[in-house]
C-alpha cells in the first residue's frame, strides 16, 4: 500500500501527504489467508494494527465475536504502553494488515517528531470518538 493508499484509511486521512509517506516507511505489511491467526489473547501487544483490506474476527473468552473491516484499528494504546492482547483475532477472508510496532514508532518520534505528533493526535481523536460512542451506548441502556 502506498502513502496515497494510506489516505484511504479513515484515521490516516488526518495526516498530511508527507507524514503519510514517512509513516509508510515504518509499516509492516502482512497478508493473511482465511482462518489465519493475526494474534491470540494473551500475546504481547507491541504495536497498532490497521486492517487495510479484508475482514478480521475478534473474539475473547469474555465477549461475543465481532467482525472488523477495512480501516479498523487494533491496539492503538500499545504504541506507547506495553501490555497483553485482550482478545484473539483471525482473518475471515483474505486480509491485509499494516502494523506499526512500538519500536518503529519510537524511532519515528526521534527522526520525525512532527509525523509522530500528527499520528498521535489522529489516534487520540479516534479513541476519544470510540469512548464517546461507548458512553452513549451505556447511557442509552441505563435509561428506562
Residue 8: predicted pLDDT: 65
**Backbone angles phi and psi of 76, in degrees to 5:** -55, -40
Q: Tell me which residue of 118, 105, 56 sits closest to 85, measured CA to CA.
A: 56
Give per-residue pLDDT as tens, 28-76. Answer: 999 999 999 999 999 999 999 999 999 999 999 888 899 999 988 899 8
DSSP state of 143: -
Higher pLDDT, 7 or 33: 33
What is the domain range of residue 84?
3-142
Give per-residue pLDDT as tens, 97-114. Answer: 999 999 999 999 999 999
Give per-residue pLDDT as tens, 119-139. Answer: 888 888 877 887 787 787 878
Cα–Cα distance measured from residue 41 to residue 71, given in angstroms and rounded to the nearest whole number: 21
Residue 4: predicted pLDDT: 45
Domain count, the chain: 1
Residue 129 belongs to domain with CATH number: 2.60.120.10
Cα–Cα distance measured from residue 19 to residue 3, given in angstroms and rounded to the nearest whole number: 9
Residue 99 parent element (H or E)? strand 95-101
Residue 27: predicted pLDDT: 92
Over range 9-26, report the average pLDDT: 81
How far apart, in Å, are the Cα atoms of 108 and each of 58, 77, 79, 102, 114? 29, 16, 11, 10, 9
Residue 63: predicted pLDDT: 83
Which of the four pLDDT bands, split at 50, 70 and 90, describes residue 7? low
Residue 130: predicted pLDDT: 75
Residue 75 parent element (H or E)? none
Amino acid at each position: 500500500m502506498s502513502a496515497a493508499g494510506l489516505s484511504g484509511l479513515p484515521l490516516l486521512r488526518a495526516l498530511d501527504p508527507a507524514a503519510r509517506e514517512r509513516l509508510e516507511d515504518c509499516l509492516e505489511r502482512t497478508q493473511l489467508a482465511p482462518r489465519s491467526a493475526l494474534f491470540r489473547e494473551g500475546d504481547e501487544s507491541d504495536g497498532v494494527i490497521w486492517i487495510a483490506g479484508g475482514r478480521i474476527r475478534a473474539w475473547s473468552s469474555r465477549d461475543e465475536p465481532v467482525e472488523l473491516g477495512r480501516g479498523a484499528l487494533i491496539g492503538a494504546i500499545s504504541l506507547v504502553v506495553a501490555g497483553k492482547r485482550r482478545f484473539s483475532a483471525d482473518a475471515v477472508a483474505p486480509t491485509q494488515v499494516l502494523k506499526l510496532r512500538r519500536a518503529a514508532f519510537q524511532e519515528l518520534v526521534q527522526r520525525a517528531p512532527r509525523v509522530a505528533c500528527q499520528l498521535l493526535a489522529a489516534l487520540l481523536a479516534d479513541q476519544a470518538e470510540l469512548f464517546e460512542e461507548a458512553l452513549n451506548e451505556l447511557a442509552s441502556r441505563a435509561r428506562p
